[in-house]
Structure 1
Amino acid sequence: MKITVIIFASFCVLLNAQEYNLAEDEFGEEYIMVPLPLRRQKRQSTYDLSHAGGLTTLKLGHTQKFLDDGINKFSLNGNLAHTFTPRSPLTLGGSLNYLHRSGSGISVGVKNTPGYGTDLGVQGKYNILKKGGATFDAVGSYSRHYGGSSGTLTPDWFAGVQLKIPF
C-alpha cells in the first residue's frame, strides 16, 4: 500500500513539474498541447520518358523510407511502366526492402503485367564477416513467374557465398 502511494505521489510531482501549453476552442473546452518530435521522411520519385526503336516508354517510380534509425532501414518501392502502343498493358510493381547496418538485408518484390503474368522475387544477403573494406556474405535469391501466356514456370533460385575485396 505504501509503495502505491509513493508511486502515485511521485507521478503527481512529475506531472506538475512538466510545462504544458493550454489551448481553448470556440466552445470553451481546454486542451493540453503536447509537443511531438518532427521527423522528416525521405521520399524519392523518379520518371523516365524514352523513345527508342519507334516506341515511347514511360516509367514512374517512388521510394518511401519509413524507418531509418541508423541501424535498420525499411523502405517501400512502387513503380509502373507503359509503352505507348495499341493494346500495350500497364506494368505495376513494388517491393519491400530491409537493410541492416552490417550490410545484411532482404528484399521482396512483385511485378504484374495483365496478360503476361506476375513475377515474384525474393533476395537476401547475410553478412558473415566484415574486416576493413572486405566483406564475406551468404547470398540467395528466389524468383518465379506465374500465369500469362507462358503459364506458371519453374522457380529460379540461387544460394552461395560472396567475397568482396576492394582494390
Structure 2
Amino acid sequence: MKFIVFSAFCLAVAAAMPYEIIEDEDGQQYYAVPISREKRQTKWNVNQSGVGISHTANIFDNNKHRLDGTASAAKNFNSHGLKPDQIGGRLDYNHKPSGAGAFVGADRTRGFGTDLNVGAKYNIHQSKNVGVDVTGQYGRHFGGPGGTGKPNYGVFLNAVARF
C-alpha cells in the first residue's frame, strides 16, 4: 500500500512538471525538460551514542510552488546488526505567492513505533509591517510498547508587527 501511495505521488509530481515539446529539422519531436542545479545538503552526526545522517534537497521549484524533501537515518552504537535504528522523512511544500505551506513527516524507531506529523500554514494578511497567519498541526504515535497514542493537534493564530 505504501508503495502505491509513493508511486502515485511521484507520478503526480512528474505530471505537474512543465514539459515543452520541440521539433528538429527532420520533424522529430522531443520533450524538453527544464534542468536546474539546486542546493542539496547532507549532514553527518557522530557522537558517543551513535551515528546519524540526513539529506535535504529541493524536489520541485518554479515561480509559484516549491517542494523540498528530507530523509534521515540513525544507528546506535550499542545495538546489534546493520539496519538503522531510526529512519524518517519529511516533505515541505511552499506556495510562493501567498507564503502558505504544508508539511508531512514520519519517523520510525525500531522497537518503539512511528511518529507521524502533518501541518499547514495560511497567510491571512501580509504587509510591510504586519503579518497574520493561521497554522494547524496534527501528530500521533503509532505502535511500540505503549501502543498507539492519542492524537496531538492544534490550530494557532500568529501575528507579527514591526514598529
TM-score normalised by the chain length of structure 1: 0.72
Distance 1:35 1:114 in 2: 44
Displacement of 1:83 in angstroms is 2.0
**Is 1:151 the counterpart of 2:144 in the alignment?**
no
Could you give the per-residue CA deviations for residues 100-153 of structure 1, whole angstroms, max 9, x where no partner exists? 113210000011111100000001110110011431001110000000001000
Distance 1:145 1:75 in 2: 24
Question: Gaps spanning 5+ residues in structure 2: where?
Answer: 1-21
Distance 2:158 2:94 in 1: 17
**Is 1:127 the counterpart of 2:123 in the alignment?**
yes
* Corresponding residue number in structure 1 for 2:13: none
* Corresponding residue number in structure 2 for 1:77: 70
| Percentage identity across paired residues of the two chains | 31
Distance 1:113 1:66 in 2: 26
Deviates more, 1:149-158 or 1:36-45: 36-45
- In 2 relative to 1, CA 38–56 (structure 1 residues): closer, same or farther, beyond 3 Å? same
Could you give the per-residue CA deviations for residues 60-82 of structure 1, whole angstroms, max 9, x where no partner exists? 11112121113210111101122
Moved over 6 A (4+): none
Question: Gaps spanning 5+ residues in structure 1: where?
Answer: 1-14, 23-30
* Corresponding residue number in structure 1 for 2:112: 116
3-state SS of 2:141 partner: strand
TM-score normalised by the chain length of structure 2: 0.73
- The number of aligned residues is 138
Structure with bigger gyration radius: 1
